[in-house]
Chain A
Amino acid sequence: MAECHPVGFQWVMEAKARGAKVIHVDPRFTRTSALADVHVPLRAGSDIAFLGGIVNYVLQHEKYFRDYVVAYSNAPVILREDFRDTEDLDGVFSGLDTDTRSYDNASWQYEGTEMQAASGERDREYEERTGGGSTVAEAARGEAHGSGGAAIGEGEPERDETLSHPRCVFQVLRRHYARYTPELVEQICGVPQDLFRQVCELVTENSGRERTTAFAYSVGWTQHTVGVQYIRAAAVLQTLLGNIGRPGGGILALRGHASIQGSTDIPTLFNLLPGYIPMPHAHQNQDLEAFVRAEAARKGYWGNMRAYLVSLLKAYWGDAATAGNDFCFDYLPRLTGSHSTYETTMAQLEGACQGYFLFGENPAVGNANSRLMRLGMAQLDWLVVRDFSLIESATWWQDGPEIETGELRTQDIRTEVFFLPAAAHTEKDGSFTNTQRLLQWHHQAVEPPGEARSDLWFAYHLGRIIRQKLAGSADEMDRPVLDLAWNYPTKGEHTEPDAQAVLAEINGHDADGRPLSSYEELKGDGSTACGCWIYCGVYADGVNQAARRKPGREQDWVAAEWAWAWPANRRILNNRASADPEGRPWSERKALVWWDPDKGERGEWSGHDVPDFKKDKAPDHRPPEGATGPEALSGRDPFVMQADGKAWLYVPSGLTDGPLPAHYEPQDSPFPNLLYAQQRNPVRHLLPALPDNRYQPSGTEPGSEVFPYVATTYRLTEHHTAGGMSRWQPYLAELQPEFFCEVSPELAAERGLEHTGWATIVSARAVIEARVLVTDRMTPLRVHGRTLHQVGLPYHWGPNGYSTGDAANELVHLSLDPNTHIQETKAFAVDIRPGRRPRGPASLELVRAYRARAGIDEHTGTEP
């Protein structure tokens, strides 16, 4: 955090100055470790074993916050009799179909009920819930055909408040983690038992009524074939300790782009519509009603999905969207399986995808298996790159690595490339959503230079021109384009669209055009329009709330009048959980919101933050029989987005790879799985093992020894992601002038690597070279009874700009997390040797020779 979010880290240091203990768990010793009380180096790719070990410690030593767990989590809920855990099936859960590499999650359900997850893969139970409508069987994964299927059960789940029923979640959890002992953590993670116990004690001593512990992770946790389960493991632990929804608690994702949160909330993502409404999958005879029936939860705020979706359709298609035409629901294109970045590359290689836009992203060096990304772009008819400078994704046809190896010749590449210079943040109005969900408005200072324009300008005018060209078309295909509500006021010499008018559309308005102030006002009858329901309120009263800038020093610690946080300007989510079931703070020290019986007519929620709860819903409120949506939440259901209002220790549906986190080895690992016979996540999302995307043997498989070291990629303070905003800046280039790798003195001695000399790093995909930084910040670990060396690879580089070097992402395979389709850049196996890499065709030959030595073919590493 000190490396990648240095200014945010000042608050960690503030906490430390007040007595907080800071624990840093990372394979490397970094600037964060230097300021932490405890640094725990561990093997990259072993975090679930580590976190599972802490969960086991908490359960064994009765350190959980019992009152919180019983009242606010699903610990007391009883599971179906046919559920089988990884302990029963040696590493897999019940419902696994090895042919389709997917789980049927019917047996994961609660006894006597059915759930829909708050987000994620909500299409799984479609057929059961709609009573028909077959799905396209294209992708052999949970989100597409037939893997879902909870039997629909009505009524409340069965509970055992004593937590003793053998099939209750709490007891299942206890059995699931019973073998995650300190001895095992030491073996798998390379963390000595004493150090591990110290972490367990620090975390548990600092949790409970009076104290809370926070987990902060950078998104490296997500970059694994079990990435979602990493976060889930932290969620299980934090729920058991009562650290969610309370000040100083939580699981905090430290994200790495100015508006990466915003671009997830208002997604430029294939599987989502604004506000986490899922993009519809293809089903026969699917209308709005069937979609909502399948996707909306019965209880909680997702029960109102129809209002959110209809309001979005009204924002998209305006007057053309009417009750008579299902509010243009049919205009939404349909998914058939995954269409993520990496499938798009496959579609380019196959020739299906002909045109590609890049908006400030640099996949030629920034995406996993960068070489495949470039080869995909070389098959395009046309490519539009919008950026500040000539990044590698704009120039691969001229000077990319494949030109050097002779695989591609510039004059043979037919791709037409448009480079359009982009406006900087100082040259446009707009809002970024930061990592704590805070929308902050930045104001335009000057006009963009030359032909540089904002992406708002580009999107608006591209749409305007396309609509002009299609005007008068009677083709049904063109109706959604022509019916689109696309009238935005423009201003200035460049006819720049008014960003505030777009924000107003995102916020939403009623039938008379009045701005809405809360998503509670949204209707499913077409009388409201709202471009993103969770952002409703950011333009309340016609005022840009994101532009509020009352100085922090003039406010309390919540600083509620600085900018605006979604939802409803709430700064801590699920904060009803900061009070006990009766509505009193768990402790005065940790008070955040509470029930004030003297406020309002019959009492109201009050406190420092905006209560994440209906303000007049009393703690003793019991919903009437048959209530649905938010009305079905009782006064003691703090997790209002969940279908049962509870924090989920166990996830009955919504995840493709299991209801509980289990330790699996990374796709490419030098080690066998000590916990289960199952080596890897059985339903990990494997892209085709093309010659350029071969997987490696692991563990005890022959050939595994060819790649004996674990590599992990990361960022440096002085550079940003794939370098498009930092390698062209002389100051930053001077601070970190070229690509390097970090190795321990022991590994340097073992492989003859010299400090400041060169190293060649090889995987089954590629070979790269890097300057060598020999440092004892890299610690050799004892794993499975032997010494393991790890190789650190910052990933900012490419051949362009002032600061140059090979891209670490060249080395990475395309085996992905099955829930999120994120690549495994944080743990893979490599070889490292002294000297520079070969040039030209010889570099391809070297990779081929490694594959041959390791006996790699298209089947290697693809077993379920």
Chain B
Amino acid sequence: MGVRTWIDSWPVYRQLTGTDPLGRGAAAKSGRSARLEPRVATADRVVKSVCPYCAVGCGQNVYVQDGRVTQIEGDPDSPVSRGRLCPKGAASLQLTTGDAREHHVLYRRPYGTEWERLDLDRAMDMIADRVIEARRAGWQWEVDETRTRRTLGIASLGGATLDNEENYLIKKLFTALGAIQIENQARV
């Protein structure tokens, strides 16, 4: 470090000679804070998204670096939200990347006292078997001599936090299976 640089880095000197006589801005800035840059500055991509919490539908910008989400901020382009997020929306990064998320399938066997790990493909196969069996066990061609062509054996709850496309496939599949007890948060 040359003498000149050394003197320039002294806040009092900068306060007396620079544009910040009260020492509340540039003069007080340390070398470290001068070198800091927002974590979004180095992002590889910005992906347009929508807040997953309430139904206002605030726009989100999702910043991705090295294949990981590094920050989620409000989208100033959105005429709905104009870049703002509430405390929940601002916590979206923690929601999506936090360590509270489970990354593995867990299985509790009948009468079991603990969770066990289960392979995803195996879980899907077991669930499919159980759907077929419960569907058949609860099947009703008729109720009081009136055709119903349905099953009371399986039911489903939830959908308000899901995408339209997801709800569409769930309703389509379950209706074809004859399930009628399909519900979501619209009633709670």
Q: How far is the CA of A136 from the CA of B148 in the complex (A)?
A: 10
Q: Which of A102-110, A338-346, A624-632 contacts B (4 or more CB under 8 A)?
A: A338-346
Task: From the candidates B82, B100, B137, name the one contacting A388 in the complex (CB within 8 A).
Answer: B100
Chain B residue, CB-CB nearest to A223: B188
The reply to whether B54 and A5 contact each other, CB–CB distance below 8 Å, is yes
Supposing A7-B84, A282-B148, A382-B130 touch, asked if A269 and B184 sit within 8 A by C-beta, the answer is: yes
Q: How far is the CA of A801 from the CA of B98 in the complex (A)?
A: 13
| Interchain nearest-CB distance for B158 vs A (Å) | 3
Q: How far is the CA of A480 from the CA of B150 in the complex (A)?
A: 11
Interface residues of B in 126-175 (CB under 8 A from A): 126-132, 134, 136-139, 141, 143-173, 175
Q: Which residues of B contact A431 (CB under 8 A)?
A: 163-165
Q: Does B12 contact A (CB under 8 A)?
A: no
Q: Mark A73-98, 1 if CB is under 8 A from B, else 0.
A: 00000000000000000000000000
The reply to whether A279 and B146 contact each other, CB–CB distance below 8 Å, is no
Q: How far is the CA of A344 from the CA of B155 in the complex (A)?
A: 7
Interface residues of A in 365-408 (CB under 8 A from B): 366-368, 381-382, 384, 386, 388-390, 394, 397-398
Task: From the candidates A265, A363, A463, A477, name the one contacting B139 in the complex (CB within 8 A).
Answer: A477
Task: From the candidates B100, B124, B162, name the one contacting A259 in the complex (CB within 8 A).
Answer: B162
Q: How far is the CA of A456 from the CA of B171 in the complex (A)?
A: 11
Q: Which of A32-40, A236-244, A410-418 contacts B (4 or more CB under 8 A)?
A: A410-418
Q: Which of A435-443, A652-660, A750-758 contacts B (4 or more CB under 8 A)?
A: A435-443
Task: From the candidates B45, B106, B157, name the one contacting A358 in the complex (CB within 8 A).
Answer: B157
Q: Does B11 contact A (CB under 8 A)?
A: no
The reply to whether B102 and A718 contact each other, CB–CB distance below 8 Å, is no
Task: From the candidates B49, B115, B185, name the one contacting A260 in the complex (CB within 8 A).
Answer: B185
Q: Which of B13-21, B32-40, B65-73 contacts A (4 or more CB under 8 A)?
A: B65-73
Q: Does A499 contact B (CB under 8 A)?
A: yes
- Per CB-CB distance, the 10 closest pairs between chain A and chain B, nearest first, are A552-B79, A430-B163, A450-B103, A434-B57, A361-B158, A333-B150, A359-B158, A268-B159, A257-B160, A728-B100
Q: Which residues of A contact B171 (CB under 8 A)?
A: 266-268, 273-274
| Interchain nearest-CB distance for A395 vs B (Å) | 9
Residue from B107, B172, B182 having most chain A Cβ neighbours under 10 A? B172
Task: From the candidates B55, B95, B162, B168, name the one contacting A255 in the complex (CB within 8 A).
Answer: B55
Residue from A7, A331, A462, A552 having most chain B Cβ neighbours under 10 A? A7
Q: Which residues of B contact A257 (CB under 8 A)?
A: 53-55, 160-161, 185
Q: Does A511 contact B (CB under 8 A)?
A: no
Interface residues of B in 3-62 (CB under 8 A from A): 45, 47-60, 62
Q: Which of A202-210, A419-427, A766-774 contacts B (4 or more CB under 8 A)?
A: A419-427
Residue from A8, A263, A394, A531 having most chain B Cβ neighbours under 10 A? A263
The reply to whether A334 and B181 contact each other, CB–CB distance below 8 Å, is no
Q: Which residues of A contact B87 (CB under 8 A)?
A: 717-718, 731-732, 735
Supposing A257-B185, A341-B187, A456-B169 touch, asked if A729 and B91 sit within 8 A by C-beta, the answer is: yes
The reply to whether A421 and B104 contact each other, CB–CB distance below 8 Å, is yes
Q: Does A323 contact B (CB under 8 A)?
A: no
The reply to whether B185 and A477 contact each other, CB–CB distance below 8 Å, is no
Q: How far is the CA of A391 from the CA of B145 in the complex (A)?
A: 42
The reply to whether A452 and B95 contact each other, CB–CB distance below 8 Å, is no
Residue from B69, B110, B154, B155 having most chain A Cβ neighbours under 10 A? B155
| Interchain nearest-CB distance for A272 vs B (Å) | 9
Q: Which of A347-355, A665-673, A842-850 contacts B (4 or more CB under 8 A)?
A: A347-355
The reply to whether A340 and B55 contact each other, CB–CB distance below 8 Å, is no
Q: Which of A591-599, A600-608, A819-827 contacts B (4 or more CB under 8 A)?
A: A819-827
Task: From the candidates A268, A341, A444, A823, name the one contacting B170 in the complex (CB within 8 A).
Answer: A268
Supply 29 A–B pairs (Cβ within 8 Å), ascending by A: A259-B160, A259-B167, A263-B185, A263-B186, A267-B171, A269-B182, A270-B180, A348-B155, A355-B134, A357-B155, A368-B188, A388-B100, A390-B106, A398-B108, A419-B102, A421-B105, A430-B162, A434-B55, A439-B164, A442-B163, A445-B62, A450-B104, A451-B105, A451-B120, A531-B168, A551-B77, A562-B80, A729-B94, A729-B100
Q: Which residues of A contact B76 (CB under 8 A)?
A: 551
Q: How far is the CA of A498 from the CA of B143 in the complex (A)?
A: 39
Supposing A268-B182, A729-B91 touch, asked if A455 and B69 sit within 8 A by C-beta, the answer is: no
Q: Which residues of A contact B147 (CB under 8 A)?
A: 282, 284, 286, 330, 334
The reply to whether B161 and A339 contact each other, CB–CB distance below 8 Å, is no
Q: How far is the CA of A397 from the CA of B112 in the complex (A)?
A: 9
The reply to whether A411 and B176 contact each other, CB–CB distance below 8 Å, is no
The reply to whether B130 and A339 contact each other, CB–CB distance below 8 Å, is no
Supposing A419-B105, A445-B64, A477-B139 touch, asked if A366 and B188 sit within 8 A by C-beta, the answer is: yes
Chain A residue, CB-CB nearest to B85: A7
Task: From the candidates A261, A331, A344, A459, name the one contacting B181 in the complex (CB within 8 A).
Answer: A344
The reply to whether A446 and B184 contact each other, CB–CB distance below 8 Å, is no
Q: Which of A114-122, A465-473, A856-864 contacts B (4 or more CB under 8 A)?
A: A465-473
Task: From the candidates B82, B90, B94, name the one contacting A552 in the complex (CB within 8 A).
Answer: B82
Chain A residue, CB-CB nearest to B79: A552
| Interchain nearest-CB distance for A380 vs B (Å) | 9
Q: Which residues of A contact B180 (CB under 8 A)?
A: 270, 279, 333-335, 339
Q: How far is the CA of A314 from the CA of B56 in the complex (A)?
A: 33
| Interchain nearest-CB distance for B134 vs A (Å) | 4
| Interchain nearest-CB distance for B137 vs A (Å) | 6
Chain A residue, CB-CB nearest to B74: A7
Q: Which residues of A contact B109 (CB under 8 A)?
A: 416
Q: Which residues of A contact B145 (CB under 8 A)?
A: 284
Q: Which residues of B contact A502 (CB under 8 A)?
A: 165, 168-169
Task: From the candidates B52, B58, B138, name the one contacting A354 in the complex (CB within 8 A).
Answer: B138
| Interchain nearest-CB distance for A140 vs B (Å) | 14
